[in-house]
Amino acid sequence: MSDHHDLLLHYNGWLFWREASDDEKTRQLSYQRSIAERAVARFGEAVFVSELAMVAPDALALGARSCVAAHAYLTGTIDAGDDCTINVFSVVRGRVTLGDGVRIGAHTSILGFNHSMEPDRPVFRQPIVERGIVIGDDVWIGSNALILDGVTVGSHAVIAAGAVVTRDVAEWAIVGGNPARFLRDRRVPKAPEPRGGLARRLADFADRARADADAIIERSWEPDALSADGESPGRYVDAPGARASLRPHADAVEIGMLLSGRPPRQLEAAEHARRLRQNQDPVTGLTAEVDSAGRHGTAPTGFTDGAAQYHVLSLGYALDLLGSSLEHPIGAVARMTQADIIEFCETQPWASAGWSSGAAIDSLGTSLFRNLARDGDDRSARRNLDTLIGWLHTHASRDTGMWSAARPSDGLLQPVNGFYRASRGTFAQFGLPIPNAERVIDTVFDQLADDRHFGPGRTTACTMLDVAHPLWLTRHTGHRREEVHAFAAESIDQILGHWAPGAGFGFRFSPTSGPNAVDHLPGLQGTEMWLATLWYLADLLGISESLGYRPRGVHRPEPAHDLGG
């Protein structure tokens, strides 16, 4: 592998054919041919076998897009279908047949052979018995599971992490324990935990989070680095070793105020505010992102830079929490006419990038809020806000409630995430009702059914917040209430399991095999967003008081500005 990838692709084989160099791809095909020279072997399209794995079969078949990660151990006669993943340190030996879409977690053993144990001789001299193991399609096998010889696992089953499977597993069954026992049918929704029990778990979690708050912020503080002005000592980064950026400082303030009721201890409140306010361009009112050295960037020339737009949210709300504010109005928006507002909305790339389009609307709405908060009688800002809200009302789909449409490549991800951003900065921020609320709920549930975006290694703080918040905004309708409650309870359970003591939340759920990417590791952004998401989910169930906190910054549930009727 190249220096750029280090060992990443050996441990994440599903990325290989997308990210490997041409030389690496040629080497991989050569390696597969060398296996075929030693054994009867057949490899489908886009198969990856790590050279760090021990692959010594008598016969091997790997269907299209299947992969074998580093340190796996394969011997015997193995026949795997398409889209199978044998993760790191997994052992697959003997006579083993896998259907399509079998995902095998790290450190799992699937042993399609056994010793006999007659008393007439030592065990190591006993003959080998090989009945074989057959695993159907669409089976998820959790990390550290053990499946013994002679077992058949039906299609669509789930083997819980650490399970010891000694008997056949029926189709759609979820099994766990030692020996593994039937837990429930995968097609039957999990019975929700009683709210009292879930409320106690939330309260216990919040106590732990508050106790960890200082440590979480401290681990992202670089005392020996200079801040953006190049003179002041110390700066915040998202996580240890992350690149310099302005948002982490705002996230640190949000976390400190949320969990401890005070600014982070590294700086006095006035110094926090000074640093968050500095380098705001007095003409555009925007704050540029820092450069690669962590120093102040060049002033924006207009309301087009996405990072600078987001600073209106992140820096502005952090300053609110500190009892301060941005020094200048958002001039780039103050100079817009109603025609400019309409043009801004209509020239967003809604068809190809609904998410970024919604983010631009969020920043526009928040800029109007900032200008109105400075001058409540700013008639131009109020007219522009009315124009923006009117455009959104008339352009929301009556079928989906969204401002953009699904795409084949990622389904409803762009429309739903874009909806959250656009509605947050407009309807939610000004306390206005959402148009087509029931259709919004339906579309959110359609998005939740797309397992490309939800599950181990896939769920991010963005994708979860961007469905939780719209469901919370539309809760008054009562539409699909029981499904909303079930989703909220299940999601809380999943989120709580990803807390890292003393470090917080990673931005993305880790896969079952463990963290293998930067966004799986705890950081300030993930921690701030997941804490807010937990509150919204808990409030959907009526138990948010258990957390003992309420978002007050960029993710605050209350309107930020009263339009006065």
pLDDT of residue 4 exceeding 50, the answer is no
Residues 6+ apart with CB under 8 A from 18: none
Residue 393 predicted with pLDDT over 90? yes
pLDDT reading at 6 higher than 80: no
CB neighbourhood size of 380 (10 A): 16
Q: What percent of the chain has pLDDT over 70?
A: 98
The answer to whether position 548 is within a domain reads no
Q: What per-residue string of b and e applies to 535-561 under the rule 16 or more CB within 10 Å gives b?
A: bbbbbbbebbebbebebbbbbbbeebb
Residue 395: per-residue pLDDT:
97
Amino acid at 486: A
Residue 372, exposed/middle/buried by CB under 10 A (0-12, 13-18, 19+)?
A: buried
pLDDT at 353 over 70: yes
- pLDDT value, residue 193: 67
Number of domains in the chain: 1
Q: Could you check whether the bond before residue 511 is cis, i.e. omega within 30 degrees of 0?
A: no
Across the chain, mean pLDDT equals: 93
Q: 54 φ, ψ to 5°?
A: -95, 100
Residue 248 lies in a domain: no
Per-residue model confidence (pLDDT) at position 190: 67
According to DSSP, the residues that pair with 62 across neighbouring strands are 43, 80
**Residue 1's pLDDT band (boundaries 50, 70, 90)?**
very low
Q: What confidence score (pLDDT) does residue 434 get?
A: 95
Among 7-21, 36-50, 68-82, the range scoring the smallest mean pLDDT is 7-21
Of residues 406, 305, 424, 270, the one with CA closest to residue 362? 424
| Ordered alpha helix ranges (H), 20-104 | 22-38
Instruction: Tell me what the mean pLDDT of segment 131-136 comes to.
Output: 96
85-86, strands of its sheet edge to edge: 48-49, 67-68, 85-86, 103-104, 140-141, 158-159, 173-176, 181-185
449 in any annotated domain: no
Each residue's pLDDT tens digit, 477-514: 999 999 999 999 999 999 999 999 999 999 999 887 77
- Residue 379 is assigned to a structural domain of this protein: no
Question: Band of the pLDDT at 562, cuts 50, 70, 90?
Answer: confident
Residue 539 has pLDDT above 90, yes or no: yes
Q: Which residues contact 149 (CB under 8 A, 6 or more apart)?
A: 94, 111, 112, 113, 114, 129, 130, 131, 132, 133
Q: Does 106 fall in a domain?
A: yes
Q: Position 246: which residue type?
A: L
The pLDDT, as a whole number, for residue 184 is 86
Residue 176 lies in a domain: yes
Catalytic (active site) residue 555: no
Three-state DSSP state, 204 = helix
How many other C-beta atoms are found inside a 10 Å radius of the C-beta of residue 460? Answer: 19
| CATH number for the domain harbouring residue 75 | 2.160.10.10
Query: Following DSSP, what letter does each residue of 220-248 receive, concatenated?
Result: TEEEEEE-TTSSSEEEEBSSTTPPB-SHH
* 153 within 8 A of 159, measured Cβ to Cβ: yes
Expressed as residue numbers, the domain containing 85 is 2-185
Positive or negative torsion for Cα 86, 141, 84, 93: positive
Q: Which of 10, 107, 115, 498 is catalytic?
A: 115
Overall residue count recorded for the chain in this entry = 565
Overall average pLDDT of the 515-529 stretch: 93
Is the pLDDT confidence value at 5 over 50? no
Q: Let me know: does 59 contact 41? Beta carbons within 8 Å.
A: yes
What is the reported pTM?
Answer: 0.70
The rounded distance, in Å, linking the Cα atoms of 505 and 519 is 10
Report the pLDDT value the prediction gives residue 19, as an integer from 0 to 100: 84
How do the residues of the chain divide into helix, strand and coil, expressed in percent and rounded to 5? Answer: 40, 15, 45
* 8 A C-beta contact, residue 151 and residue 170: no
Residue 101: CB atoms within 10 Å: 20
Share of the chain above pLDDT 90, in %: 84
- Comparing C-alpha atoms, which of 250, 245, 204 is closest to residue 499? 204
pLDDT class of 192 with cuts at 50, 70, 90: low
Instruction: Give, for 205, the enclosing helix (H) or strand (E).
Output: helix 195-218
The DSSP 8-state label assigned to residue 504 in this structure reads B
Residue 34's alpha-carbon distances to 28, 37, 49, 56, in angstroms, are: 10, 5, 11, 11
Average pLDDT of the residues in 39-55: 95
Please check whether residue 251 lies inside any domain of the structure.
no
Whether residue 31 lies inside any domain: the answer is: yes
pLDDT band at 3 (very low <50, low <70, confident <90, very high): very low
The three-class DSSP label of residue 397 is: coil
Distance, in Å, from the CA atom of 386 to the CA atom of 338, rounded to the nearest integer, reads 9
Please say whether the beta carbons of 246 and 290 come within 8 A: yes
Per-residue pLDDT at 170 exceeds 60: yes
User: Which pLDDT does position 565 carry in this prediction?
Assistant: 52
Q: What is the mean pLDDT of residues 71-75?
A: 96
Digit-coded pLDDT (tens) for 220-278: 999 999 999 999 999 999 999 999 999 999 999 999 999 999 999 999 999 999 999 99
